Structure 1
Amino acid sequence: MSLAPDPANSPGTSRSTSATIQPNILWYLVTVADERGIDLRPELEQVGLDETVMRSAALRVSYRQGSAVIRRALELTGDEHLGLKVGAAQHLTAWGLLGFALMADDTLRHAIETGVKYQNLSGAMVVWSAGIGEEDGAFVLRADLPDPATDPAVAVFLIEEGLASVVTLSRLAVGPAFAPRVVEFTCPPPRRGDRRQSDPYGALFGCPVRFGAPANRLVIDPAWARARMPGRDPVTYASTLELLDAQLSSRRDQQDLLEVLEISVAQSLPMIPSFAEQARRHATSERTLRRRLADCGTTYEALVEGVRRERVELLLLRPELTLRDIARRAGFSDERALRRAVRRWHGTSPVHLRERMRADRF
């Protein structure tokens, strides 16, 4: 069974770099940084998230805001395993109403599948998918980045945080003995400056950990997947799902349409799917799709422009890339087209924008 996410067919489980998410990760990130004597509140305020705003139950933050704070936290702490620590600090209540539903679910596998179904309400910054793998019926949970051009350090943080939080919350639910069969990361193995250093991955996951794998995933033995949730309650579970469905339906028609289209464009760059192709994927006419986008207050051209702008801004933060590299990866015909676009967006050249963005980080 393939576990790769299909944005065109699974609008409930896609994630976009300009979509809005709950600020759960940022709250735990601030807590972990506080324990190290590092105050991230100024970084939150820089992206428009002061403490008063952060306390709002209705708050949603953009992927860009979240990534900026994470990037700065990595720089300030100098901790390449910060994602593991933030994931390990979490509790089921971090997922709000969804966490309550998971506690009332029947088995660990079903709880994870429920989490995947309602992931857009959980505050996750990765795209989750789950199913039965080829490993003798083992249950597999996979985490993918919403945009392959994500800053590499932020990407490692997001995957570490996501997989660590699942293992941590599973232990809180079914017992501290829980451990996956194996955990796999697509990133290369971490540098080991001192062989006497403890292994943070083995210590947290309690199982073999592989690097350079084809996908980021947890493989869970069937016996653990069938483990009963101690708080299972069919009535509470059903009533909570009704509330979750109401939350999803209130935002799905518009927000999820934009998320699906944006992630489709982001994952296709440097090629850009035609509007006719997008309409075909949604099994609708071009006229209907244009009307739905107009109802969202945008057009396909503006949506593509936004995705390419975010891609360029992410790539400019990587000093090893030339402007020619960036133009090619963002789908521009040449450097001149890139320069015109950046001047239209920011009123300056790519070189000056890169200098300004790098200065803002330090």
Structure 2
Amino acid sequence: MHYVRAALGGAERLGIDPVPLLQAARIPPLLLGDDRARVTPEQFTRLVNGVRRATGDEFLGLAPAPSRQGTFAMMCCTCVGCRDLASAVERATRFYGLFPAGPDLALERLGDDAVFTLRDDLRGIPEGAFLGECLIVIWHRLASWFIDRRIPLRWAEFAHPAPPYAAEYDLLLGCPVRFGARRTRAGFDPRWLAAPVVQDEESLAELLRRAPADLLTRRDYATTVAEQVRRSLVRALREGRAARLPEVAQIAARLAVSPATLRRRLQAEGTSYRRLKDQVRREAAVSSLAEGQEPIAQLAARLGFSEDTAFHRAFRRWTGTTPGAFRLDGQQTGTFRLHGQQS
């Protein structure tokens, strides 16, 4: 809900009623009061696009000055013809540097790391923390999209203090995070800068059609062990060939490593099999309940829970509410009838 409230902040200051925006995005307005409630990427994408249209601003009315719609698309058009990632990122930062109120972004070197750096001080802006998070996430995902490979981040740091939802940064970035830093930035292996840009205007049109969903979710490039495990779990759920998700030994066998080796590699990437399994289950549960068709008992069994009560406990831990209450909110407001499975 932090992200939903933050995305609405600029529109509200402009006097725009947030309720129609939420309803158009199929988000029950009552969820705004529940800090632990969640929305799907599809719902959040609809909300962001609605706020963009209402404010006429790609920055959603949150930045000191608006960004005209189409600016981001034009920036991407200037980059898809670049030779490698380094030249694409440098061109993108120069592009936004042409606008006096544009984000002050830079690609820097810090020791053995290449670093995405946001040089703006956003601490005086009400939603500054949200803007900083979004800029780092989107620039990281966009860089990965340019080369069609997921770039693992080594670390990230933010100028704002640790928020109450700090644990969510693991889902967003998958790397160690520090708060209260001098600047907002993220580091990665500089060898990725030599990777060739493989996208073209046709693939860019598809990215922009789905934006910002593809830039806010963790696209499966499977360049890390964690992403390979995650893909295997998601595929098992989609195929539904067994009543339970594969165990760590089964996943290890598919990757041709021992279970102990798999655990060590996941630990080195800052995660674990249990955490990845929990994330995949949570995303699948929210998506299924939003669609409103699958019986809850059947959903619990498909996700590998031995009994309904275990699923109810897990869902409450994930969202702060029960599966039945979550689905009922959607049925009463007509908001959770989504098309397509969340991944």
TM-score exceeds 0.5: no
Q: Sort the TM-score into its range (normalised by shorter chain).
A: 0.3 to 0.5
So what's the TM-score if we normalise by structure 1?
Answer: 0.35
Q: Which has the higher contact order (CA 8 A, sep 6+)?
A: 1
